[in-house]
Structure 1
């Protein structure tokens, strides 16, 4: 899970596996795989960095990287 902050300052935890899209409008807007939007104070670069850290922790980033290497051969 990653920590995000709503515009009102409320901190909540979010499972980044459900993030489909991140936009800057200029606020960071996260769209989930179910089509729900969350507008957060967090900078999009922080959200992406936290997502990658989470993926590494659960071993998902390693799997994606290996799959990409196999496709390149």
Structure 2
């Protein structure tokens, strides 16, 4: 969740995963995937920074050793994070169905 401020000055939390786009017209308009629109006092850059920080915090939090010991909502053992860097892509020739 990211914290934003309505033009009236009231703060609210918004699920950043539901943001479809952010427009600056000149007020900042946050549009969600369901079409809901919010006019916020933060600039386009501030909204972007909030979303980037939110997503980075999720990745950073999942890499913490103590994150593996947190309770879960589903029964069963808690597994440690298995985040890893993705190796570079291997470029193989594409078979286009021609003659060898």
Range of TM-score over shorter length:
0.7 to 0.9
3-state DSSP of counterpart to 1:17: helix
2:13 alignment partner in structure 1: 13
The whole-number CA distance in structure 1 between the counterparts of 2:88 and 2:40 is: 36
**Tell me, which stretches of 5 or more residues in structure 2 are unaligned?**
60-84, 92-100
Give a deviation string over 1:18-50, Cα, whole Å, max 9, x none. Answer: 000000010000000111100000111000001
1:58 deviates by 1.2
2:51 alignment partner in structure 1: 51
1:63 alignment partner in structure 2: none
| Max Rg structure | 2
The count of residues paired between Structure 1 and Structure 2 equals: 65
Cα-Cα RMSD:
1.9
**Tell me, which stretches of 5 or more residues in structure 1 are unaligned?**
60-65
TM-score, normalisation: structure 1: 0.79
List structure 1 runs of 4+ shifted beyond 4 angstroms: none
Greater strand fraction, Structure 1 or Structure 2: 1
